[in-house]
Chain A
């Protein structure tokens, strides 16, 4: 059965129960979830989410790169558990790669090379 369990699924099953996450992994999931949620995806929070998926297949112009970086930074600002952060966006071909360094509870959390789109 274990071969059918996707390790990236936060709801993976462990000994018949849901496996919760905490600490650094919880913070990482919260950040990525906020960035990649499309506004309107959550029925009772129509404005929530960064909507970075909308940059899929858009040319990696300096303007688009800057917009992604600003959008990500703005969303990270809104998270009260993030003390400080740096966002780096690299565009190549029709894809962007996002790298986030955030300080949470005094410790640095690095989220590397997340593909946008």
Chain B
């Protein structure tokens, strides 16, 4: 997409093509003028056609590509051929997907179970416990909280874990770091 000409370039192209022919004497491109309107229509139409052609080219390229072509396309777009790993679905059709080991057997086009779970955690977690990090590959959450004076660290940790949403994905775990009260 980055190579498609922006609207203003197309507009300028129309304007320079018209004004280059000095014999026509057409030079009024003020906002709202007829030439301005024509240039806008021409630029919009050209941009639409370019996008359509680009979509068709991409569609044909992907549907007709070999494995090597896709490797080149992935490396070209993402800078790393391993960014989208080669996978095979239940119909033995090869496709590419990002590295989401924890996603396991989720179908394409859905969010992963852990992603859903993390959203719930961020929404539901008690304010006193803080989500420090999340390891997307292993599904481990790390949380940190401060125990109040006289509070037992293990009971604080159990309380935080108890606040996690009931439903949890299969490959999933957590660490809770408890800081002693000052």
Chain A contacts to B: CB under 8 angstroms: 10-11, 17-18, 20, 26, 30, 33-34, 37, 41-45, 48-49
Contact = CB atoms under 8 A, between A and B. Distances in A.
B33 A30 contact: yes
Report, as a range, how many residues of chain B touch the other chain.
10 to 19
B31 to A, nearest CB: 6
A12 B27 CA distance: 16
Given A42-B37, A42-B40, A43-B41, A34 B23 contact: no
B113 interface: no
B162 interface: no
B117 interface: no
Nearest to B43: A44
Given A10-B34, A44-B7, A26 B28 contact: yes
B26 A18 contact: yes
Contacts of B36: 42, 45
A37 B7 contact: no
B23 A17 contact: yes
B25 interface: yes
Interface of B: 7, 11, 23-28, 30-34, 36-37, 40-41, 43-44
Contacts of A34: 32
Nearest to A34: B32
A17 B26 CA distance: 11
With most chain B CB atoms within 10 A of its CB, the pick from A37, A44, A48 is A44
B44 A11 contact: no
Contacts of B11: 44
B26 A20 contact: yes
Task: Report the 5 A-B pairs with minimum CB-CB distance, sorted nearest first.
Answer: A44-B40, A20-B25, A42-B37, A43-B40, A48-B32
A12 B55 CA distance: 41
A44 B28 CA distance: 17
A33 B23 CA distance: 25
A34 B40 CA distance: 16
Given A17-B24, A18-B25, A20-B25, A43 B44 contact: yes
9 contacts: A17-B25, A18-B24, A20-B25, A26-B28, A42-B36, A43-B37, A44-B7, A45-B32, A45-B40
Contact of B33 (A18, A33, A43, A49): A33
A33 B27 CA distance: 16
